[in-house]
Structure 1
Amino acid sequence: MASITLQNIVKEYDDGYPAVNNVSLEIEDGEFVILVGPSGCGKSTLLRMVAGLEDITSGELLIDGERSNEKQPRERNLAMVFQNYALYPHLTVYENIAFPMRLTKGKFSDDEVDERVRRAASMLELEDHLERKPGNLSGGQRQRVAMGRAIVREANAFLFDEPLSNLDAKLRGQMRAEISQLQRRLGTTSLYVTHDQTEAMTLGDRVAVLKKGELQQVASPRELYEQPANLFVAGFIGAPSMNFVPGTVEGTTLRTPLGDIELPEQTAQAGQGHDIVLAGIRPEFFEDAATLEELHLSRGSTFRAELSHTEWLGNEQYVYVTYENDPRVAETLQNLAEEMDTDELRSQLVVAVDTSSRLRGGDEAELWVDSRRIHLFDPATGENLTRDAEAGAELTRIAKEDRRRDAERAAQG
């Protein structure tokens, strides 16, 4: 295992375009770090520079403290798992897994090869498929074979390049769990690229969010979700996305197209002096006021709204409210949509309500919002005006402590 350190890494192509721009990132020994962002943000380019498949224009790459910019890929002892599996169709599963050891020309005896292949196959539940060819396997089984090939190398680190993007949604969920459990068991340093923020949130010890080649925030999934640094991180992380509602702070009142929302004093102070702010409110911060007790209602603010439609999904329910957007933030929201690789951010509030709620489209309802959890953003800069950096750092510290306990349990069992 090894630590991986990126110091002011830049990748500039011949036309001068910086695909990766001044990225610094420290990946600890045994840590699972996710690179996430929309298409074209530079995450795969960054991974390929770590692997040695792309040259580094400037900056330093350290693997276990040793400068590795000029090292050949084979000298870095990193195992890469590709999106397309990169299996040899004419070889059996056994020989595909054994292939990295065969390349070392006599370094491993036949008994050592057999022992490692069968151990990896056991971890990945492939024992019954060792004599089959990749063409006769499912997508999930092929991905496990690719992972087996990485395991037998006993590499310093695993590099994953969107390994689940070719699988259907149900299989992706299953493979996410398998990769997470495997990484915990092996304790191998891992760098994982994905555009799927669900993968990022469920797999990573820490997540690095990229936009147009620049690092926006590096933190535990929970810190990203609860204390995002800016509009982009807030909008990209979470599904459904955070609502961004234009408003003006007057005293402790946030005046919005939906009505007035009373803010905690500290939140209101952060919005003072701004002609307009964007209130970031996640769907689950709302509720149907009719379903709440008086004590709960007093912990937030209520407003009345006409619902456009509802979606009942069994385990969750969403209601939608359309409103008139403020032209002063229209360009900011359009730019944000383009950065997030989305067609547009509609002037529509998404509200998560209890599945027992009987609200329907066309109803006028009283909605409750937990005003203590509202973030205010500056539309001009995208900065989160209400971010509590100290509280966010504590969330990441707790996540790190949880990872340490996971590693200790895995080592014992």
Structure 2
Amino acid sequence: MASITLNHLVKKYGDGFPAVNDVSLDIADGEFIILVGPSGCGKSTLLRMIVGLEDITSGDLLINGERVNDKAPRDRNLAMVFQNYALYPHLTVYENIAFPLRLNKGKYKEEQVKKLVTDAAATLELTDHLERKPANLSGGQRQRVAMGRAIVRQADAFLFDEPLSNLDAKLRGQMRSEIAQMQRRLGTTSVYVTHDQTEAMTLGDRVAVLKKGVLQQVASPRELYEQPVNLFVAGFIGSPSMNFLPATLENNVLKTAVGDIRIPEEKAAKAAGKKVVLVGIRPEFFEDASLVEESKLHHGSTFTAPITHTEWLGNEQYGYIHFDPTPEVRELLDSLARDMDADELRPQVVVTLDAASRIRGGRDAELWLDTRKVHLFDPETGENLTRDADAGARLTEEANAARAEEIAAARDEVPAAS
């Protein structure tokens, strides 16, 4: 196992453009960390720098405290799982998994090779497929073979480069679960690159969000979701994404295009002096006011807004509110969309409603908003003015403590927590 330390890593290409720009990150022994961001943000480049497939322009890369900038990939003892599986079509599953062991001629006896391969196959439920060729396997099975090849190497860390992007949605869900369980059983340090935030939120102990080569925030998935450091992280993490509404603040009331929203005094104080703020509201912060328990009403604000249409999903439904942005706000939304690699951010608010709600499109609806949870952003800098750094740190500390117990249990140091 290994700890991996990135100290001010920079990667510049011939034109001087920094694909990775001053990234510092400490990855603990046994940690599962996710690198996430839109296309072109530098996450795959950073992964390739760790494994040694990209030169480091400046900064230091340490594995277990040893500087490895100049070490060849084969000398770093890292195992990489690629997007395209990189399997040999003429070899059986057994020989594909055994291939890295065969490269070390004389190091492993045939009995050792057999034990390592069969153990890996059992871990990945490939025992019944060892004599098959890759062409006869499903996409999920091929990906498991690629992971088996990484396991038998007994590497210090696993590096995953968007390993599930070639699979359909159902298989991706299954493979996410398998990768998570495998990593917990093995307790191996893992760095996983994805642009899929569902993978990021469900797999990682911590998630590192990148934008244009710059690290924006590193935290547990829950801290990223509940206490984002800026507008970009808030908009990138979550599905449906956070709603952004321009507002002016008068006393403790936000004047928005969909209605007046009264917020707690302590939140309003953090935006004092700002003429305009962007209000960040997750869809689930809303509820149909008629279904809200009376004891909760005083924790929020009730307002009326026109619902253009609804989408019923069985367990819940989404309602949509459109608004007309000013040219300045339209420009801000377009800029944020470009940052997040999206075509556009529509001037609309998405609200999550209970499946039992009778709110329907084409009419006004009375909505309740939990104003304790809204965020206020500076539209010029993108800074989250209402972020509670201490509360966010506690969320990540809780996640780290729970993870440490899991790793200890996986290594048979202590019994698993109930």
- Give the TM-score normalised by structure 1: 0.99
Secondary structure at 1:135 match in 2? helix
Deviation at 1:409, TM superposition (A): 2.7
In 1, the alpha carbon distance for the partners of 2:316 and 2:68 equals 48
- Offset, 1:198: 0.4
Question: Counterparts of 1:206 and 1:216 in 2: how far apart (Å)?
Answer: 13
Describe how 1:195-214 pairs up with structure 2 within 5 A: 195-214=195-214
Shift of 1:329: 2.4
Measure, in 1, the Cα distance between the counterparts of 2:53 and 2:293: 59
AA aligned opposite 1:53: L
| Amino acid aligned to 2:262 | E
Summarize the alignment of residues 41-60 of structure 1 with structure 2, pairs less than 5 Å apart: 41-60=41-60
Match of 1:226 in 2: 226
| Unpaired stretches in structure 1, ≥5 consecutive residues | none
On the 8 A contact 1:246/1:326 being kept in 2, the answer is no
Please give the alpha-carbon distance, in whole angstroms, between the structure 2 residues aligned to 1:81 and 1:316: 37
Q: What is the distance in 2 between the residues matched to 1:381 and 1:256?
A: 20
How far off is 1:39 after superposition? Answer: 0.4
Q: Write the letter of the residue equivalent to 2:145.
A: V
Deviations 1:57-92 (A, max 9, x none): 000000110000000000000000000000000000
The match for 1:93 is 93
Counterpart of 1:100 in 2: which secondary structure? helix
Q: What is the match of residue 136 of structure 1?
A: 136
Give, in whole Å, the separation in 2 of the partners of 1:379 and 1:160.
35
2: CA distance, partners of 1:406 / 1:28: 14
Indicate conservation of the 8 Å contact 1:302/1:369, yes or no.
yes
Q: Which amino acid aligns with 1:180?
A: A
The corresponding residue for 2:281 is 281
- Number of matched residues? 413
What is the CA-CA distance between 1:95 and the residue it aligns to? 0.2
Alignment check: 8 A CA contact 1:246 1:329 kept: yes
User: For each residue in 1:201-259, what CA deviation from the matched residue of structure 2 results, as whole angstroms up to 9, or x when unmatched?
Assistant: 00000000000000000000000000000000000000000000000111111111111
Deviation at 1:323, TM superposition (A): 1.2
1:75, 1:222 → 2: CA distance? 36
Alpha-carbon distance, 1:48 to partner: 0.2
RMSD, aligned CA = 0.8
Structure 1: which amino acid aligns with 2:335?
A: N
Counterpart in the other structure of 2:146: 146
CA distance in structure 1 between the aligned counterparts of 2:390 and 2:89, rounded to whole angstroms:
52
SS at match of 2:372: helix
CA drift at 1:298 = 1.7
- Deviation for aligned residue 1:272: 1.3
1:309-332, Cα deviation, whole Å (9 max, x unpaired): 101111221000111223332222
Alignment of 1:13-412 (within 5 A): 13-412=13-412
User: d(CA) in 2 for partners of 1:316 and 1:55?
Assistant: 49
Q: 1: distance between equivalents of 2:126 and 2:105?
A: 25
Q: Hey, what's the Cα distance between the residues in 2 that align with 1:397 and 1:341?
A: 31
Q: Quote how far apart the aligned CAs of 1:407 are.
A: 1.6
| Paired letter, 1:255 | K
Query: Which residue identity is paired with 1:208?
Result: A
Partner-residue secondary structure (3-state), 1:385: coil
Task: State the distance in 1 between where 2:218 and 2:234 align.
Answer: 13
Identity %: 71
Q: What is the CA–CA distance in structure 1 between the aligned matches of 2:77 and 2:149, rounded to whole Å?
A: 13
TM-score, normalised with respect to structure 2: 0.98
Structure 1 residue 410: Cα displacement? 2.4
- How far has the Cα of 1:302 moved from its partner? 0.8
> What is the SS of the residue equivalent to 1:372?
coil
Give deviations 1:168-216, integer Å, cap 9, x for gaps: 0010000000000000100000000000000000000000000000000
